[in-house]
Amino acid sequence: DTSHGRILYLEDVSVSFDGFRAINRLSLDIAPGELRCVIGPNGAGKTTMMDIITGKTRPDSGTVFFGSTIDLLRYKEAQIAQLGIGRKFQKPTVFEQLTVFENLELALKTDKGVGASVFHKLDSAQSDRLAHVLRTIHLQAAVNRLAGTLSHGQKQWLEIGMLLMQDPKLLLLDEPVAGMTDDETERTAELFLSLKDQHSLMVVEHDMGFIKTISDGTKVTVLHEGSVLAEGPLDAVQNDERVIEVYLGR
């Protein structure tokens, strides 16, 4: 339900670890079909924020809603994934001994046993979905290759493809272009631009060139000390004195 124009909304969220406030009264919302970049220095709370959204970390206080009706704090991590929130960590995790096809096939059946599902025949809707995802991630030509033989960038796309097999409403991506070649980074930008509208994306990145390419006028959020320091178009936040101070000062 997106009747209030937001797919995700955090309000006044805080969490402390041993008395240290990693997230401090954080409020933020994401619109349906939005591609939101989140930046901020190390220790700003980016990972902890993702952990809270995905149910890995429970906040001490605040509100976290998915759409306008789903109170995410009432769900466990595994249930949140089922609700349609896909998360990709920085390092690629694909099944190296399986083909691209088999990796995507496996991703359809998270609730079933791994062994049983590999040889299970897909129904026609599932086959269509798999073909669509393969085109989206540009791995048609590699469909029968073992994932272990793919380049770093191709493995990252495959893992994104595995998330897409579940048709998530929201994708959370942690430094997706780290370690990619320039060409792979450019292709990843195209991929993300093709995914938005159909999905909402929250992308934590340090690569400013990449952010510039994908954030074409849309909002960038700067986190600092567990709260939003600045939010707006990239040009505006880059010229914000507080942001400059946080990155260059001290």
SS3 36: strand
**What residues from 47 to 76 belong to the interface with ligand ADP (CB under 6 A)?**
47-48
176 touches ligand ADP (CB under 6 A): no
- Residue (47 or 63) nearer to ligand ADP, CB: 47
- String of contacts with ligand ADP for each residue 4-43, x by CB under 6 A: -------------x----x-----------------x-xx
In whole angstroms, give the CA distance from residue 106 to residue 103.
Answer: 5
d(CA 165, CA 105): 8
What beta strand segments (E) does the chain contain? 8-17, 20-30, 35-39, 61-66, 70-71, 85-88, 170-174, 200-204, 219-224, 227-233
Task: Please select the residue that binds ligand ADP; options are 26, 45, 87, 129, rule is CB under 6 A.
Answer: 45
Closest distance of CB 47 from ligand ADP, Å = 3
Using CB under 6 A as the binding rule, whether residue 124 contacts ligand ADP is answered as: no
**Cα angle for residues 46, 52, 163 (degrees, 5° grid):** 85
Retrieve residue 198's tokens: 């159909």
Minimum Å gap between C-beta 206 and ligand ADP is: 10
Q: Is 46 in the site for ligand ADP (CB under 6 A)?
A: yes
Q: Which residues bind ligand ADP (CB under 6 A)?
A: 17, 22, 40, 42-48
